[in-house]
Amino acid sequence: MEHTNEKFLIRLSGVTKTFPVASGIFHALNNMTLDIPRGQLMAITGKSGSGKSTLLNIISGIDKPTHGSVVVDGVRIDTLSESELASWRGINIGVVFQFFQLLPTLTIAENVMLPMDFCNRYPAKERRPRALALLQHVGIGDQADKLPSALSGGQQQRAAIARALANDPPVLMADEPTGNLDSQTSTAIFELFAGLARLGKTVIIVTHERDFASYFENTMAMADGKMVTELSHA
Ligand SMILES: Nc1ncnc2c1ncn2[C@@H]1O[C@H](COP(=O)(O)OP(=O)(O)OP(=O)(O)O)[C@@H](O)[C@H]1O
């Protein structure tokens, strides 16, 4: 697949996503055109039902647009087959969830190695050292051989971020990643995301936490499947 170094890592052009509903056709995304620069920490806000999750699903190729095109790192993903998309997603998109979603029977290091085992991007003997290095990077190198249940919420979210980084994807996305954490721990998690953006990751976070607005280079508000703020591309 072709990769580019152009400024915008993610380009949506005229993206519409409709769902059939009893009363007709519902527009979850309504003709969205959006460019997201490489290495940016970006927030998406908006009321429930405004289309935030649908947008993340379109960017990660989980949903396909009804109309329009989606290009990520030079690859037009809306025309890929489901199997092409599955392998593309594994190395291009890292996802962080509100409730961490670590597998409870695997150690922290094994959780981080799992996406590497699925994608085969790194040789088997490199996977554990890579997992340990990622855990070190997110600040929990000493927790590698524990089960998730032995960790605090903040530590579990750090582990989930290490897992999202397993295959070194250019894009990280998170839906309310601090929704289950206290404010001090949330600050530490936003600082971690900001550091990853400085290292070149494009980090897209759905959040309602207004206290953390200063961490974001861009905040995109959504309403009725549309962007209702202009993004700055300084
Ligand atoms: N598979 C589907 N079939 C029908 N309607 C859908 C489907 N997926 C999403 N929708 C509708 O599209 C709209 C946007 O949903 P979406 O989940 O993107 O909103 P959201 O902004 O993420 O909301 P929340 O903050 O509650 O997660 C909602 O009204 C939802 O009901």
Transcribe 85-137 into DSSP letters: HHHHHHHHEEEE-TT----TTS-HHHHHHHHHHHH--S-HHHHHHHHHHHHHH
Residue nearest to atom 10 of ligand 1 (CA): 28
Residue 1 — very low, low, confident or very high, per pLDDT cuts 50/70/90?
A: very low
CA 54 to centroid of ligand 1, rounded, Å: 6
Summarised one tens digit per residue, pLDDT across range 25-39 is 999 999 999 999 999
Q: Which atom from ligand 1 is nearest to the alpha carbon of 225?
A: 14
ipTM value, please give it.
0.94
CA 166 to centroid of ligand 1, rounded, Å: 29
Summarised one tens digit per residue, pLDDT across range 158-191 is 999 999 999 999 999 999 999 999 999 999 999 9
Q: Is 99 in the pocket of ligand 1 (CB under 6 A)?
A: no
Q: Is 207 in the pocket of ligand 1 (CB under 6 A)?
A: no
What is the bridge-based pairing of β-strands 8-21 and 67-72?
Answer: antiparallel
pLDDT value at residue 233: 60
pLDDT value at residue 118: 93
CA 53 to centroid of ligand 1, rounded, Å: 7
CA 12 to centroid of ligand 1, rounded, Å: 19
CA distance 195 to 149: 27
Q: Is 46 in the pocket of ligand 1 (CB under 6 A)?
A: yes
List all residues 6 or more positions away from 29 whose beta carbon is below 8 Å from its beta carbon: 15, 16, 17, 51, 54, 55, 58, 65, 225, 226
Residue nearest to atom 26 of ligand 1 (CA): 48
Domains in the chain, ordered, with CATH?
40-63+81-227 (3.40.50.300)
CA end-to-end distance (rounded Å), the chain: 29
Residue 90 has pLDDT above 90, yes or no: yes
Residue 229 — very low, low, confident or very high, per pLDDT cuts 50/70/90?
A: confident
pLDDT value at residue 6: 74
pLDDT value at residue 120: 93
Residue 15 has pLDDT above 60, yes or no: yes
